[in-house]
Every structure is written in structure tokens, then in C-alpha cells.
A and B are shown apart, each in its own frame.
Chain A
Amino acid sequence: MNHQIIRPYIPKVDLEAIARSIPKTEDKTNPSKADTSSEQPKNKPHLRNRKSSPLDQTGCILLPAGTYGRYDYPDLLIGMQRLSYNSDVQAVNQRKGWQIANTATAPYEFIGNINHEQAIQLNQELGNATPSLVLGREFLRLLDSGINTKNKVYDGAGKTLDEAILKQVFDDITKVKGSWRAEWFDTKFSGTGKDMKITYSIYKGNHWEYTTEDLQDCLMENRIPGIVLKDWLKNATSQGLPLSGARSGNKMYYWSPQDECVAGFYANSDRAGLNCVRDPTDCYGALGVRCVRVSAPSAKN
């Protein structure tokens, strides 16, 4: 029971939700207008908000080719930010009749209000994949190595990224601070007890596909709080889950896998954690998705 500030619950004021609540007229429903309204607040230090392609090379981080978990992957580009509204998303909206928009405003504007299926489909429509828990963890490990061991980490254009940028991305995902930030992983759980399975996306041959495996022995109890984030980054099962004997800590909440649930990460002003009991139909403003795409050869360092 380490000391934490005794905080009241302070509901967040969401200006964008207020803006959306205004009855729309024809011109003002045009999503392209919503796009122009996604400028960063000027006096807050935020990650850059990119409005071009979500896989703008400089908006991605290169996860070098390697064996992650049980599978080999080529060079991958992973978004520095969760997907945000841009002309590509607008085109998907028009093509599919969807109404996807930026719903989260901090620490940058990003797309939310999408359930798990919509998140996966959106990435597919954009020509991306959605990171699995394995890749999500590897992404954090990469950031951590760049911050703490000064490993060189590159953006998609091959430029070395400053430690400050890496820390911003790492904090955006894991730091207990600010408003809600949450994201889906493309990893599902099914079954119970010893029959529990895990299904996640892998890159095989030249395409993304799903693999379903028996869930390896992992931490199967909720830790509220928590586990030690650094421990999880250092040691995990090949499916990305904390080890069964994971040390207790107070930095990272952990909800263990349950039948018909999906994995995701989240952080807010009160806590951060790995949630493996997220209902796939969940849908709220600050729950978004990150993208991953195989790097084109030119993007290699």
C-alpha cells in the first residue's frame, strides 16, 4: 500500500464531445472539417499530430526484423501514435459508410469509439495490420532500450530518433498521468482453464494471418496493483504475457486472460495496465488502435 495522492474523481471535459453534440448542418458534418479542427493545443507539449498517411514514414518507428515470440518478422513500422483522422480515414469512411473520427483529444487527437472488430478492420482498410500483444510488448521493449540503454532507434525514414521522442511515445502508452489513453491489441483469448487458447496475428510468408495456440503457462491472477512493468518487458511468455511467478508491484495493473476477451493496454491519471479481459464490444472515446506495417525496403536503415 504505497502512498498515492488521495484523489477525487474529476470527470474530464471533452471539448470535442461538446463540439460533436452540436446539431450538425450539411457543411459542418463534413469530416474534412473535423480534420481541420484537430490542431494541437498550442501551449501543451504533445507528440506531433500527423494528418497525412497514418504510416507517414517519419511518424513510425522501425522495429527491426527478428524473432519475436515464436515467429520471425521482417522490419516492421509501428505508429508512434494511435491512428488519427486523416484523408485516408476519410476515404475509408466514404467507401464503407463509416463515421470514424477523432474522439480523444489528449495527449493528441486520435480515433476512438471503435470496438475491437472495427479497429482491426480500420487498419486493414488502410493497408495496415494491428499489433498483437507480442508486438505491442516488443514495441515497448524497443522504446525502453532506446531510452535506457541508448540503443539507436530509427523512424521509418531511417533517421535516429531522439531519446525525448522515444520517452514521449513510451509515456503516452504507459505513464500514469493525464487523461485516458487506451489501445487494442490484435490478440484474443478463448476457452477456460487448461483449455484456454490465444489467437493473434503473425506475419508469415508475405502476409498477415492468425495463429491459435494453447495459452502458455502465464500469470493467471489479476494483480490490482500490479506487476512490475520493467519485469514484464524483461521476461514474458513467448505469447507476450507476464510469467506465472511475476513479481508484484504497483506500477502496472494486470487483468489476466478470460474467455472471449481481448488484450489491450491503457493508462490514465490513476493507473496504467495490461488488460486481458477487455470486452471486444467495448467502445469509448479514448480507446483507439495503433498500426503496424511491413517496412518497404527503402525504409531500412
Chain B
Amino acid sequence: MTQELTYEDLAFPTFINSHPAITLTAYEVKDEKVVEKTITLPFSDAIKAAEISGVGQLHIGDTRTGKSLVMMDMHRNHFGGKADDGGRSNWNVARNDFTANGYFMTADQSKIGAGKGLLNEARVPIKRRINAVVNWLDEINLMIPEVQVEAFGMAEGRQEDIQLGDVETGYYLFGASCNLNRVNGDFAGVSPINRALLNRCGVIFDHDFYKTTDEDRDILDGREVTGKLQLAPIRDITDKIITAYQEIRKSASVRDPFLDAYLRFISSGLDYCSIDKDNLKKRTWPSRCSGCTFTKKDLCSLVKQSNTGTVATLKRFANGLKYLVQLKHGQTSIDPLDLALAAYEFTTYHGNLNGVEAQSTYSGEDQEQMRDVVSKLRDKIMSIRRYLDRSIDNAIETGIAETRFIEISDVRGQKVNNIYSEADKERLDEIIKQNGKISYNVQEPFKRAESEKFAKENGIRIDWFPGYLNSVAENYAKVK
């Protein structure tokens, strides 16, 4: 029987990076009282979350920042080292002579010879490599873009039509590293990364942005200096990781109405262009942004929407983050908006950022631009969050897609919103009749005109929300 994964199991023997990378709001109900707390996860935890989620990861950064080190830690200490030597992982250093066929396929000698048919029929997969649950590809940008195509299948978890990884559970991890120094371009032989390959890496870890901290360096100073890549001891916790992955995949495969809604902001919400005829971002984006006179273009000009595949991957990564937090801090409830945006922040290099802005405003610091995007997106979502949360909660509880709200001004003039109900309205009328010191009004923030107004004031769309809410309500009405 497989033992349960613990947070300690996921320790990296040699890689250290405690740079705060993710901040999540958690709340616990203790002795029937709600206690909110902030949980900060270091950069290394983000990598662990991707690992247990089976989300492909690309490590980028300057030379000697720990990219290969962290991959090697996982390769040897989590997945037991090379499949050829009995482990569950494959390690390749990217070179221009790399071919996927050459790596995963071989010839069955018993089928070669006169009268034994076509040579092609002797081709067979190397099972131990096919069945390895991880493929690491170090220094991927030492392949020219034409050869990078050879890694597409590996990144997607397939060798032609043969599934890679653990077929039974679906667990498969692809990890790659590359030097990305776009501004200086000082690495000899370095090629640009094919954008399709970038998109196949669910999350991208920028070791330049999330630098090791001074405290990390204090620890590193105490270690023996070898000048070489340190090799972690061989250990295999693959089965534990796969067990965790199954939980995560299961969670990410079902409706999660709050998390799904916030992720929809990344796909549908950001798909807004003020000057397009249909108000959608099309192929011309962002070429017309510089000449656009839309006064609220601070967000829509910075980033375009993510595609559906990316959002599905982000949902799994978000669930992986939640799983990791619970391994580390025990059972706790985590704010779904924080989870969605934390996951989104690691898609910086998917090619969705406005590259002109990246150079002109952010001096090539893509991750700074991404941080700005996330911050602005959060502000805009927060301005309507009180409506989103209550209507989704109501749809789950009652199976009704109610988009009207009652805004109550209490005696101190403070306003609170609640989902609309006839009963509450009658009760408020009664309270007002008796005391007259409060007031209320009924609001419909998702009406077509209001949605259009919101888009014009914020540069993001919310007109998808009523349809989304209907689907949530219908689903939960059926469940009931």
C-alpha cells in the first residue's frame, strides 16, 4: 500500500530558493469562529506544486541560478533517477542531433533479417523510457527552433501515438530549462524558444525574478563548494506523488464554481478590445494598442486572454497549490481568487503579454509586467467580487441563477450587499416601516447595459457571467 505523501517528502536535497513567490489568503473555522491568515509560499513550493500536479514546467534564468539543480533534485531524489538505470525518469541534454524517435524507439533485432519483413516493422518502443513518468530536457534553447519541434511530443506526453508516463493514472511530467537573457543575448548558440513549446509548458519558473534570498545564500555558503552540479541521492517517491496527483486531477476535473469563474476572467474576461468591431482581441492585437485612445486601456493593452488549454492546466496547478498548502499547513480553506491568480502569474512567457510594452515600459522584465497584470486584474475583479461570490454561492445552494442584489445602507450609512430575495425585500420593507432609518435598492450589475459599462470602465468583459451562472445553477439544480 502506498503511503501518503508528506510535505517533507518533497524536500529538495540541494536546491534552495525561499524567495516569497505566492501569497494566499486562508481561512479556518476555529471553535466556530472564522480566522483569516495569510500563507506565503516560497518559490521552491511553487515548483513542488507543479510537480505533484503533473503540470509541465520550464525553468528559465541566467546561468547558475539553480534551474538544472532543481530538475536534477526531482529527477534523482523524487523519481529515482534514470529509467535506464531502474528509476522512473528520463534526463536529456538538448542538442541539435536530438530526435524523439532516436530516444524512444529502437529496433527489435529478432525481427531483422532476410525474410522477416519490413525493417519498419522491427521498430519498437523502449518501454522503460516510454513508461518513465518524467522527461527532463536541460538547456532546451541550445536546440535550434527547427529541432525544438522534436520536443513537442515529449512536452505533450506522447511519442507519436504512444502515451508517455504512467498510463494507468495519467501522471506525466515534462520539465525543461533554458537560458533566457533576451535583453543582453550573451549566450553563444542560444536560440529563441518556439512559442508553441512554451505554451506546452504549463507553468514557467523564472529563476532570475525569483532570486535566491540572502538567507538562502547564508545556507549555501556553509556548503562545500565543488563548482559542479551537485547530484542528489537516489530516492524514489514516484508512487506517493502519483497518489497525490490522482487527488489533484480528480479535484481539477470537476466543477469548482468559484475557481472556474475566476479562471474565466483569464480566458473570457481579458478577451476585450475597445476598438475592435466585436470588442474582442483578434489577430491584430496588440498592434493597434499604441494608437488606441481608449482611456482605460491600462490592462487590456498589457495582456491578451489565455487559451482554454492553458486555463485547464492552471486549474490543475491551482489545485496542486491547494494540495501543497494542505500538506504543509493542514486542512484549511484557501481563497479561490488567490489560487487562480497565483497560478496565472506563472504563465508569463506564454506569449500573451504585449511585447512592445514589455520592452518600452518594463525594460524587458516580463515578470514585472505579469505582476502588474495580475495586480490590475485583481483590482478589477475585486470591484465586483461581492456580486460574483454571492450569486455563485446562491446558485450552488438553491440551483437558481439570481443576478439581482439588494444593497442595504444601514444606520451608519455603511452598505452591504445580499442576493435578492422577495422574503428579504419584504423584511426590509417591514424594518423600514417600523424604524425608517435604513434604506435599500435593488441592483442588477450583470444586465447587458451594466456589463458593457463595466467593460468600458475596466477593459475586461463580464458579459459571460450570466451564462456561466446559469450553467452552475443548472448543474446544482440537477444534483439536488
Q: A residues within 8 Å of B by Cβ?
A: 1, 3, 5-10, 13, 15, 18-19, 21-23, 28, 33, 37, 40-44, 177-178, 180, 182, 224-225, 255, 266, 268-271, 275, 277-279, 282, 284, 287
Contacts and interface: CB of A to CB of B under 8 A. Distances in A.
Nearest to B253: A3
A13 B316 CA distance: 33
Given A1-B247, A270-B29, A178 B430 contact: no
B333 A7 contact: yes
B427 A15 contact: yes
Given A43-B423, A270-B29, A22 B438 contact: yes
Contacts of A41: 421-424, 426-427
A80 B418 CA distance: 29
Contacts of A224: 330-331
A278 B251 CA distance: 33
A9 B326 contact: no
Interface in B296-354: 318, 322-323, 326, 330-331, 333-337, 339
B31 interface: yes
Given A19-B435, A225-B331, A278-B32, A13 B418 contact: yes
B448 interface: no
Given A18-B438, A177-B397, A287 B417 contact: no
A8 B31 contact: no
Interface residues of B, number: 51
Interface in B370-409: 389-390, 393, 396-397, 408
Contact of A18 (B247, B326, B422, B431): B431
A86 B66 CA distance: 70
B31 A282 contact: yes
Nearest to B427: A15
A148 to B, nearest CB: 19
Contact of A9 (B247, B333, B390, B410): B333
B255 to A, nearest CB: 8
A129 B377 CA distance: 56
Contact of A42 (B335, B393, B423): B423
Given A41-B424, A180-B32, A10 B251 contact: no
Contacts of A19: 431, 434-435
B254 interface: yes
A5 B257 contact: yes
A37 B31 CA distance: 31
24 contacts: A1-B247, A1-B326, A6-B318, A6-B336, A7-B336, A8-B258, A8-B337, A8-B389, A9-B27, A9-B333, A13-B417, A15-B408, A19-B434, A22-B437, A22-B438, A28-B435, A37-B431, A40-B423, A42-B423, A224-B330, A225-B331, A268-B29, A271-B29, A282-B31
